[in-house]
Structure 1
Amino acid sequence: MKGASRVRPGPALCLLALAAAAASPTFAGAQERFRRTPPLPAARPQELRLPPIARVSLPNGLSVATAYRPGMPLVTLQLVIRAGEADSPPERPGVAALTARMIGRGTKLLSAGAIEDMVESMGADYTVDVLMDYTVFTFHFLEESLERALFVLRSIILDAQFTERELASLKRTAYYELSDRKKNPEFLGWRQFLRTLFENHPYQTATYTEEVIKFISTKDLVSFYDRFYRPDNAVVLVSGAIDGPTVGKKIGLHFATWARQPVARAVPAPPPPNARDRVCYVEDPNAADATVFVGNVIMSASDPDFFPFLVIKHVLGGTTQSRLFMNLRESKAYAYFAFSQTEFFRSCGVYWARARVKPEFIVPAVREIAREIKAMSTEGANPVEIEEAKSYLIGNLPIRFESLEGFAEWMARIVALDLDEGQWDKGPERLKLVTVERARAAAQNYLSGKPVIVLVGRPEWLGLYLREFDTIEVYDNGGALKTTLRKGE
């Protein structure tokens, strides 16, 4: 299955590539007037209906979670391993991803080609997602192929083989994939953003470069596999038009020989938010425009402030009608786009404002982003903005789960991060309970600090456009610190 898998070496790498054309403001004061008469959301009035997740635990510690979805043409089979990029040894970053990608490249009894033929004969889709805290192996197939899919999953997991030949091939592929990603300024900015926020934290392990790949050995993969690929550190998920108890019995038969072994895995403590002025500039010689990230560490998804913060994030930059876009794009014409986003891990979350700006407007654009964030933390959002953000988010929740992939991804996330059942299907109710006061409190709690600023652009723009920053840390596109520039020096 060499060509049938995808791996996400870190969350949120598939950032929305929204690149609207630049436009001058059509009237003065657009930014202020839109606050008084914000546009109505385009949410669909559709009720969120998610099936309950039935859970059982097998004698060897393997958990099974099933969700009955009548009328679905395909069944989804997933295996979640509660170990991700953050669990790679600090001296061997990338081991989690390469271990997962070696799964399916041959077993003790089946060659990689034989496994690939079996998957293709089912008409199945197979993917591998390696995230910060967990890894997911996913199959989509017709219901009639469930038994064969379970056999394939059992074979590639329990009988995994890590040969020197396959690893050498995979390392070449992974090296060039990571090297090619450096052509994407969004990737460069995101990696530096996480690297800066997670200094001296296990999550920084996920921000590796292609150069570390060459040092990974089969011994490293076997060690990682033996430690984390255990039934009491795994969950099998099945969703579709299936009978849960019957599926549970089938899984028990296929995975009964998986040897139980306690897994010592501590949840990393949340890192402290950034508390000092910090501007990082990543040099990208081929950049056409400047890429801007401004953000900080926030709460985890299990925190009571989670839903209030989602509302605040939406008001700040959730759509083209939100504050950041209306200011930087429509009013000031500094940016091609400007949005705010969040990503949540097991121990914490991060928020960031993201913009693509014209090089000559880097400094004023950063100032406007910082001003919008500060205004949200001190003044909050008005009642109309809050209610319309809630309406939009509630209306779009069902859309998120319409697709097979969206449902499977959310189910895996709920199970892998041990989120409560309310996170599964009570989103609308919890969003409705968000008040102006709760939203303002969340903004004050998490937007009042000093955000990290990461910029990606050409080396020559430093001298042309960025002299107003007091201190700038300059990095190459591999993340290595080149120099620190100080105003007046």
Structure 2
Amino acid sequence: MKTALKMNTKIVAFFALFILTVSANAQIDRSKPPVAGPEPEISIDKPEEFTLKNGLKVMVVENHKLPKVSYSLRIDNPPIATGKKAGIESLIGSMLGNGTTSISKDEFNEEIDFLGANLNFGITGGFASSLSKYSDRILELMADAAINPLLTEEEFEKEKTKLLEGLKADAKSTDAIASRVGYALSFGTKHPYGEYVTEETINNVSFGDALAFYEKNFNPENAYLVVIGDVDYKTVKKQIKKYFKDWKKSVDIKHTVPKPNPNVQYTQINFVNVPGATQSNLSITNNVDLKMSDEDYHAALITNNILGGGGEGYLFKNLREEHGYTYGAYSNLGNDRYGAARFSATAKVRNAVTDSAVVEALKEINRIRTEPVDAQLLKDAKAKYVGNFVMALERPQTVANYALNIELNNLPEDFYTTYLQKINDVSVEDIQRVANKYFKADNLRIVVVGNGAEVLENLEKTGIPIMYYDTYANPTEKPKFEVKLPEGVNAKSVFNAYIDAIGGKEKVAAINSILVKYEASAMGATVISEEKKMDGKLKQTIFMNGNAMMTVLTTQEKVTMNNNPLPENMVNDMKTLGGLFTELNLLNNDSAKITAIESVEGRDAYKVQVPGEVVSLTYYYDVETGLKVKEVQTTSMQGQTQSQEVVLKDYKDFEGIKFPATREGTQMGQLVVYKLLEAKLNEGVSDADFN
């Protein structure tokens, strides 16, 4: 009986749903687009405020929708340059929020986890959130961490080591170099926004320096605490007075923020050479003086959004969708109440199209300055911005930031309640006017960080003046790329020397097939790399714990990955790899060139580059022994570039032919070392393997 009743209930429910659906469809005219809903009303509660005797300013916004509370602490000191001790703020900031003088680091973090809360600190403040029933305790922990942080010399040395290791890791990163050089040139190295951290400045900082910096700069004199959530104002006021009253004032920090460097007198390329870089990092920039209180502020936001705010922006559609130069191209128009902000249009592009990307990006910047924006595009940009703005209001941090912005930037109280109206009031004329005001077409720095040997010749053809800088923004001479080679040395002679080094032409000529296997441990698994080779053919298979995970088959007719054909332009490049030894194929490739002599594992090596439309090869051969010591395969597709680098070591003889016994490479940030298991000549491989 119960079963029948359940079945009848389901049938009734089904027909009810069917009737509702038919009824709804009957009332909708699908030939017309739906009518837009009413404009969302923005309601941001005005915080209740009070100030402690020590200067801490507190803002409280009650919101009882959810049983949660968040605390945002902001130390609002003016930006300060730390000069020869640049990085001191990072060192001391990384030590905050990890225990107090009365609670060990482990106990502190364990209690935060137990409460299901979040708490983090930096030198400019902190953030905490929890369920409202734990609000008293999380506030107590936050206050204790701010007032009585556990600062030990042992922890300081650990953080210093981490920071130094990070600098070493970034030494050849075009992203890190571009950021450092861009800010240094725009603002000046003596400006707080333009100075940079080096190994020397970090080593200049002592533990005592860090403590003194904390005492002077992390204090309540210029501090704000914003509380949002399921709290009672009177109760939270008592709690804050209780836990923060012992936070002592330090000296009031008052100093003048220096002016940034002026914009350049004429548009120019500022080039930084990074040998071996597989991509160029572009940043087209000029300084701006834009504040949130300016009348242009809302129009500036939409103007930047149209130029480079996302996938619908001019830059993205041109450089990514139309030309495929990059994975993404974007712009940013900053604002700063101290008058030091930047406009920048950025992208990472393939070396071969660096000059073209510069020209096209400049074209789009000029376009938004000289051509009226399409009315529908403007409407869409506003709609997207409005949607993102409304969604952001769901986050407590956003509401806290808005409350602080009004306070710190001297904004009217209705700044955010009228925000959407001001966005929607932006006109086509406003876009063009603002673009001309903030995008300085005649005073742009085009910062290019890349491989000069591959990109400079074409950059010079743009006719834009080029200035040269090192990786720390110091002026330098134009890099020289002429390689002084011994007489008679060229790419073909290097390939022949390699053939001689591994066994000689006669031994190599007697080989019909090769089977090699390498083994490694990676991500908790045993990985086997197997290569089968015949004349013009190569089959590479990766096994993980005995299971075949990936197979790449290369012949002169096709290249497949797991039986799926690869694009034709990729196939043309990869045919070179098909065969017993790549060098035998490269002997007939006139595009292979020696571009440098570089050190690999402490030994000089000829760097031979083989360009390709999609897949480019870079091989390194020991100058003395002739053996190949490193391989780099770079793949550039759909605006993305990926490089695989392998170091070859410890060659061993197998039947008169030498193979590297060790292959070292990095996968997903982890060093993977492959050891040679076996090498067989003229056995274990047949034509059937390549069908």
TM-score higher than 0.5: yes
- The alpha-carbon deviation at position 267 of structure 1 amounts to 5.1
- The alpha-carbon deviation at position 211 of structure 1 amounts to 4.2
Secondary structure of 1:203's counterpart equals: coil
- 1:112-163 CA-to-partner distances (Å, cap 9, x unmatched) read 2332233223222223356xxxx13111211122111122122122123533
8 Å Cα contact 1:94-1:213 kept in structure 2: yes
- 2:203 is matched with 214
CA distance in 1, matches of 2:430, 2:368: 13
CA distance in 2, matches of 1:455, 1:44: 46
- 1:260 is matched with 249
Instruction: Point out which structure has higher relative CO (alpha carbons under 8 A, 6+ apart).
Output: 1
Q: Max radius of gyration: which structure? A: 2
8 Å Cα contact 1:342-1:352 kept in structure 2: yes
2:131 to 117, 134, 142: 142
Secondary structure of 2:85's counterpart equals: coil
Secondary structure of 2:478's counterpart equals: strand
- 1:69-93 CA-to-partner distances (Å, cap 9, x unmatched) read 3323532112111137x42422221
Q: Which runs of 5+ in 2 are unaligned?
A: 1-35, 481-691
- 1:13 is matched with none
Of 456-465 and 292-301, deviating more is: 456-465
- 1:310 is matched with 301
2:52 to 40, 58, 65: 58
Alignment of 1:100 with 2:119, yes or no, is no
- 2:76 is matched with 82
8 Å Cα contact 1:325-1:339 kept in structure 2: yes
- The alpha-carbon deviation at position 391 of structure 1 amounts to 2.4
Secondary structure of 2:175's counterpart equals: helix
CA distance in 2, matches of 1:410, 1:174: 32
Query: Per the alignment, do residues 141 and 164 of structure 1 end up closer, same or farther by CA in structure 2, a change over 3 Å counting?
Result: same
8 Å Cα contact 1:44-1:396 kept in structure 2: no
- 2:381 is matched with 389
8 Å Cα contact 1:287-1:457 kept in structure 2: yes
Query: Per the alignment, do residues 270 and 45 of structure 1 end up closer, same or farther by CA in structure 2, a change over 3 Å counting?
Result: farther
Secondary structure of 1:274's counterpart equals: coil
CA distance in 2, matches of 1:308, 1:279: 29
1:295 to 285, 288, 313: 285
Alignment of 1:377 with 2:363, yes or no, is no
Secondary structure of 2:460's counterpart equals: coil
Give the letter for the 2:353 counterpart: F
- The alpha-carbon deviation at position 209 of structure 1 amounts to 3.4
- 1:341-379 CA-to-partner distances (Å, cap 9, x unmatched) read 233333232221111222121112112212221232344
Of 356-365 and 371-380, deviating more is: 371-380
- 1:34-88 CA-to-partner distances (Å, cap 9, x unmatched) read xxxxxxxx9997554433333221222110012233323532112111137x424
1:440 to 432, 443, 446: 432
- 1:38 is matched with none
- The alpha-carbon deviation at position 274 of structure 1 amounts to 1.3
Give the letter for the 1:254 counterpart: Y
Query: Per the alignment, do residues 275 and 459 of structure 1 end up closer, same or farther by CA in structure 2, a change over 3 Å counting?
Result: closer
TM-score, normalised to structure 1's length? Answer: 0.80
Secondary structure of 2:338's counterpart equals: coil
Of 173-182 and 149-158, deviating more is: 173-182
8 Å Cα contact 2:153-2:207 kept in structure 1: yes
Give the letter for the 2:255 counterpart: A
Name the count of aligned residue pairs.
440
CA distance in 2, matches of 1:423, 1:114: 43
Alignment of 1:286-365 (within 5 A): 287-298=277-288, 299-348=290-339, 349-365=341-357
CA distance in 2, matches of 1:421, 1:203: 30
CA distance in 1, matches of 2:81, 2:152: 20
Of 43-52 and 451-460, deviating more is: 43-52
Secondary structure of 2:193's counterpart equals: helix
TM-score, normalised to structure 2's length? Answer: 0.58
8 Å Cα contact 2:228-2:396 kept in structure 1: no
Alignment of 1:230 with 2:222, yes or no, is no
CA distance in 1, matches of 2:168, 2:402: 30
Give the letter for the 1:438 counterpart: D
CA distance in 2, matches of 1:281, 1:401: 41
- The alpha-carbon deviation at position 244 of structure 1 amounts to 2.8
CA distance in 2, matches of 1:481, 1:461: 22
CA distance in 2, matches of 1:200, 1:125: 36
8 Å Cα contact 1:267-1:346 kept in structure 2: no
Give the letter for the 1:347 counterpart: Y
Q: Could you say what the CA RMSD is over the residues aligned between the two structures, in angstroms?
A: 3.1
Give the letter for the 1:282 counterpart: V
Secondary structure of 1:232's counterpart equals: helix
Give the letter for the 2:352 counterpart: E
- The alpha-carbon deviation at position 108 of structure 1 amounts to 3.2
8 Å Cα contact 2:188-2:195 kept in structure 1: no
Query: Per the alignment, do residues 359 and 95 of structure 1 end up closer, same or farther by CA in structure 2, a change over 3 Å counting?
Result: same
CA distance in 2, matches of 1:69, 1:482: 55
CA distance in 1, matches of 2:277, 2:399: 36
8 Å Cα contact 1:318-1:339 kept in structure 2: yes
Give the letter for the 2:280 counterpart: A
Of 223-232 and 406-415, deviating more is: 406-415
2:145 to 139, 148, 156: 156
1:198 to 170, 181, 187: 187
Secondary structure of 1:207's counterpart equals: coil
Of 261-270 and 391-400, deviating more is: 261-270
Query: Per the alignment, do residues 58 and 424 of structure 1 end up closer, same or farther by CA in structure 2, a change over 3 Å counting?
Result: farther
CA distance in 2, matches of 1:45, 1:430: 13
- The alpha-carbon deviation at position 235 of structure 1 amounts to 1.0
Query: Per the alignment, do residues 465 and 351 of structure 1 end up closer, same or farther by CA in structure 2, a change over 3 Å counting?
Result: same
Secondary structure of 2:334's counterpart equals: strand
Secondary structure of 1:374's counterpart equals: helix
Q: Which runs of 5+ in 1 are unaligned?
A: 1-41
CA distance in 1, matches of 2:255, 2:373: 38
Query: Per the alignment, do residues 483 and 202 of structure 1 end up closer, same or farther by CA in structure 2, a change over 3 Å counting?
Result: closer
- 2:466 is matched with 471
Query: Per the alignment, do residues 426 and 407 of structure 1 end up closer, same or farther by CA in structure 2, a change over 3 Å counting?
Result: same
Give the letter for the 1:83 counterpart: N
8 Å Cα contact 2:273-2:479 kept in structure 1: no
- 1:242-287 CA-to-partner distances (Å, cap 9, x unmatched) read 2233212211111112223451323525535513334223344453
CA distance in 2, matches of 1:432, 1:201: 40
Of 243-252 and 305-314, deviating more is: 243-252
Of 178-187 and 230-239, deviating more is: 178-187
CA distance in 1, matches of 2:37, 2:202: 44
Secondary structure of 1:202's counterpart equals: coil
8 Å Cα contact 1:90-1:202 kept in structure 2: no
8 Å Cα contact 2:191-2:260 kept in structure 1: no
- 1:146-182 CA-to-partner distances (Å, cap 9, x unmatched) read 1111221221221235332221111112222343345
- 1:455 is matched with 448
CA distance in 2, matches of 1:69, 1:54: 12
Give the letter for the 2:377 counterpart: E
8 Å Cα contact 2:80-2:257 kept in structure 1: no
- 1:484 is matched with 477
